[in-house]
Amino acid sequence: MPPLRRGAGGRDRGRHGRALRARGAVRGEDRARRPLAHLARPPARLRAHHRRGGAGRVTTIPYRFEQTASAAEVVERWSGLVAGEESGDEVSVAGRVMLSRPQGKLAFSQLRDSSGAVQLFAADGVTRDFDAFRKLHLGDWIGASGEVVRTRRGELSVKVSDWVLLAEARHGFGDKWRGVTDVETRFRQREVDLWANPGSRDALLLRSRLVRRTRERLWDLGFVEVETPILHPIPGGAHARPFVTHFRALDMDVYLRIAPELYLKRLVIGGLEKVFEIGRLFRNEGLSPRHNPEFTSLELYQAYADYRDIMALVEELVSGLALDVLGTTSITYQGRPLDLAPPWRRATMAELVSEATGHDVSVHTPRETLEKWARDADVELEPAWGPGKLMLELYEKTAEGDLWDPIFVYDYPKDVSPLARAHREDPLLAERFEAVVAGRELANAFSELIDPDEQLARFEAQAAALEAGDEEAMRVDTDYVRALEHGLPPTGGLGIGIDRLAMLFADASHIREVISFPMMRPEPPERPEPPAA
């Protein structure tokens, strides 16, 4: 049956475009009338093949399909066939048609499933409804059964005897050779991106393996995986602006968590000595190649451990994950080699800043001197900054970006580390470190603050800062202080950005490459809403 002509009956895609204008209708009116105008109409081409008339039974698309082999299994298991040989073995495969080469009374197409791709070979007289088969669109899903053969030209194929349409693709999947590069399309319609660009799928699969192996490794180390609240009455555990929402039953505002830290430490107080959580955090801050408003973190806490124990754990975990997921610790990130093998370099922040500036910098350096050096380094000073903040700014301005190979930067100023325990040897420092890889913070860890009195004092200082306008400052969490009053043993804590780690392993320059559906600005409507008639 010949396909219906464009415009016939007004049922095809031409309806909201050319066909209408050809009849003199106004395109804009039509589009405004139907806000879903970008959706495709059911195409006519396969109607004869899979649609039946009559109420209640409009399609022959089956409800299930029995695969007996994946594409990769077919290619692997029958790799020994020689050109022109027929195996005598029947298989059923399913997937999406990615290439189609009808040639007279033969047709070749490539079927891709999650395992890989295999060629389908169809022939008039062999393949049921051959005429419809050769009209399949790129992107259509089908299930196909037939004998595994190798064609005369040497391509392993399933010689299709029977097949069935599983879903039709009403839209294209981009240029068959170059895929889709338009960022709007790639991330607003990620399903298109995932089919059109194999690298996109690879990045998400790599992330999945990474998360899975992270869990397994931590389980093996005796950590207990837990889930703590995402709705927090008081946002805490980090410096960040929270998202606010409202809980109707209790008529109270609640916050999407900016960190699970306080709850996890309360679990340690409760006797879960080694806990971890992998989960989503929400920070009401900007979008950037390295920031998504919701992102995934790993946080873990280990009783009886200090920050040096955690350093050892981090380098072991990250290098081990590289081996698990990539098979090597020698990786390339954005064209530059990088080795994750332990031991990682360790340097105090004061050492790094001194190295970078040429001055002998420490948190004990007089404030005026620090201010001068900071100005020399083009740091934009703020009057409220103390020596610790000045040193941190100086570090971030002069030293951090130049770090490439993995390094533990430790002994942070205490006044910029409100949840870390004071240094055992220097009261102006905190026992805190960050792991920096490829010039970026990958992990943040400390010997946890365990003293309830000091915790309360620091909360109060934060609350004062909040009052003074610092929207990222913390609030006083009396529940948490009361928990500390029950006794938190010496504990080492760690946070790792899973997205950042996935970026590193996937060699991704943008965080959205490793997020299935990254945050996007809402798509603007094609036209303003028409005025009410």
Partner RNA sequence: GCGCCUCUAGCUCAACGGCAGAGCAACGGACUCUUAAUCCGCAGGUUGUGGGUUCGAAUCCCACGAGGCGCACCA
Cβ closest to RNA, residue 430 vs residue 442 = 442
Identify which of 442, 495, 499 has the alpha carbon closest to the alpha carbon of residue 319: 442
Tell me the per-residue interface mask from 9 to 38 with RNA, x by CB under 7 A, - otherwise: --------xx--------xx----------
Identify which of 377, 322, 324, 384 has the alpha carbon closest to the alpha carbon of residue 354: 377
Cβ closest to RNA, residue 181 vs residue 478 = 181
Q: Which residues pair with 337 in a beta bridge?
A: 332
The DSSP output letter for 179 is: B
Phi, psi of 455, deg, nearest 5 = -60, -45
CB of 107 to RNA, least distance (A): 8
Q: CB pairs under 8 A, 24+ apart, for 19-23?
A: none
Tell me the per-residue interface mask from 374 to 413 with RNA, x by CB under 7 A, - otherwise: -------------------x--xx----------------
Q: Which residues are within 8 A (CB) of 351 and not within 5 positions of it... i.e. 6 or more apart?
A: none
Cβ closest to RNA, residue 285 vs residue 454 = 285
The reply to whether 108 sits near RNA by the rule CB under 7 A is: yes
Tell me the per-residue interface mask from 288 to 317 with RNA, x by CB under 7 A, - otherwise: xxxxxx-x----------------------
CB of 172 to RNA, least distance (A): 4
Cβ closest to RNA, residue 137 vs residue 308 = 137
Cβ closest to RNA, residue 305 vs residue 416 = 416
Q: Among residue numbers 111 through 130, which ones bind RNA (CB under 7 A)?
A: 119, 121, 123-125
For CA atoms 296, 302, 306, 311, give the dihedral sign. negative
Rule CB under 7 A: choose which of 175, 227, 376, 453 binds RNA. Answer: 175
Distance (Å, whole) CA 116 – CA 74? 10
Rule CB under 7 A: choose which of 41, 105, 367, 482 binds RNA. Answer: 105
- Check if the beta carbon of residue 276 is closer than 8 Å to that of residue 223: yes
CB of 520 to RNA, least distance (A): 6
Distance (Å, whole) CA 490 – CA 39? 59
Exposure string of 107-130, with b = 16+ CB inside 10 Å and e = fewer, is bbbbbbbebebbbbbbbeeebebb
CA atoms within 13 A on the CB side of 372: 7
Q: Among residue numbers 322 through 381, which ones bind RNA (CB under 7 A)?
A: none
Adjacency order of strands within the sheet including 294-303: 224-225, 274-282, 294-303, 491-497, 440-447, 429-437, 407-413, 345-348
- Check if the beta carbon of residue 49 is closer than 8 Å to that of residue 129: yes
Cβ closest to RNA, residue 492 vs residue 497 = 497
Rule CB under 7 A: choose which of 87, 92, 115, 185 binds RNA. Answer: 185
Identify which of 87, 41, 54, 90 has the alpha carbon closest to the alpha carbon of residue 69: 90
Q: Among residue numbers 45 through 84, which ones bind RNA (CB under 7 A)?
A: 45
CB of 464 to RNA, least distance (A): 17
Tell me the per-residue interface mask from 436 to 475 with RNA, x by CB under 7 A, - otherwise: ----xxx-x---------------------------x---
Q: Which residues are within 8 A (CB) of 264 and not within 5 positions of it... i.e. 6 or more apart?
A: 226, 228, 275, 276, 277, 299, 300, 301, 493
Rule CB under 7 A: choose which of 153, 368, 383, 487 binds RNA. Answer: 153
The reply to whether 510 sits near RNA by the rule CB under 7 A is: yes
CB of 289 to RNA, least distance (A): 4
The reply to whether 7 sits near RNA by the rule CB under 7 A is: no
Asked if the peptide bond before residue 343 counts as cis, ω within 30 degrees of 0, the response is yes
CB of 390 to RNA, least distance (A): 12
The reply to whether 144 sits near RNA by the rule CB under 7 A is: no
CB neighbourhood size of 190 (10 A): 18
CB of 250 to RNA, least distance (A): 28
Distance (Å, whole) CA 150 – CA 131? 23
- Binding segment toward RNA, per CB under 7 A, in 148-156, 216-224, 352-360, 475-483: 148-156
Tokens of 33: 């009338």
CB of 46 to RNA, least distance (A): 8
CB of 43 to RNA, least distance (A): 6
- Binding segment toward RNA, per CB under 7 A, in 64-72, 281-289, 347-355, 418-426: 281-289
The reply to whether 42 sits near RNA by the rule CB under 7 A is: no
Rule CB under 7 A: choose which of 23, 57, 64, 178 binds RNA. Answer: 178
Count, residues near RNA per rule CB under 7 A: 80
